[in-house]
């Protein structure tokens, strides 16, 4: 899997997502700085909705890589821990791989490695249906 695959999705292209790493033990996705994704014009702070989207995507990718098939999100919890600025890196991994459902955890860190948000999502395992 490579960045091009990630950017087949128009919305993921809009977010400028780049695939850093993908393996059975998890995925890492980078979101470069982008003035279109800010909460307020002229600020540095990214919109919370951008973070929830990034978390949703990273969790889904972790499951897709692990099961080898599509992994649509069923539900998602996002916790915002501190204001997020500039570049973000999301790391996601599968907590539980079930026949029908998979649970994934996501951490989002800023350029200084500070944890800015965490997420936990339930995804459908379409491969084993």
Residue closer to a second copy by CB (options 87, 98) is 98
User: Could you tell me which stretch among 21-29, 38-46, 61-69, 85-93 binds a second copy (CB under 8 A)?
Assistant: 38-46
Distance, in Å, from the CA atom of 4 to the CA atom of 25, rounded to the nearest integer, reads 21
Contact 49, 40 (CB under 8 A): no
Is 54 a binder of a second copy (CB under 8 A)? yes
Q: Using CB under 8 A, pick the residue from 62, 90, 122, 125 that binds a second copy.
A: 122
8 Å CB contact between 80 and 41: no
How far apart, in Å, are the Cα atoms of 77 and each of 2, 16, 61, 104?
Answer: 27, 23, 16, 11
**Applying CB under 8 A, does 40 fall inside the site for a second copy?**
yes
- Binding segment for a second copy (CB under 8 A), chosen from 24-32, 40-48, 61-69, 85-93, is 40-48
- Decide whether 76 or 87 has the Cβ nearer to a second copy: 76
Please count the residues of this chain forming the interface with a second copy, following the rule CB under 8 A: 45
* 8 Å CB contact between 111 and 86: yes
């Amino acid at each position: 899997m490579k960045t091009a695959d990630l950017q087949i999705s128009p919305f993921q292209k809009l977010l400028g997502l780049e695939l850093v790493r993908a393996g059975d033990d998890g995925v890492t996705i980078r979101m470069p700085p982008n003035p279109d994704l800010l909460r307020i014009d002229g600020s540095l702070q990214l919109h919370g909705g951008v973070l929830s989207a990034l978390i949703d995507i990273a969790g889904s990718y972790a499951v897709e890589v692990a099961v080898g098939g599509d992994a649509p999100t069923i539900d998602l919890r996002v916790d915002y821990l501190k204001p997020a600025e500039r570049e973000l890196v999301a790391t996601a991994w599968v907590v539980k791989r079930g026949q029908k459902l998979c649970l994934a955890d996501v951490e989002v860190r800023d350029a200084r490695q500070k944890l800015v948000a965490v997420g936990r999502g339930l995804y459908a395992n379409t491969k084993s249906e």
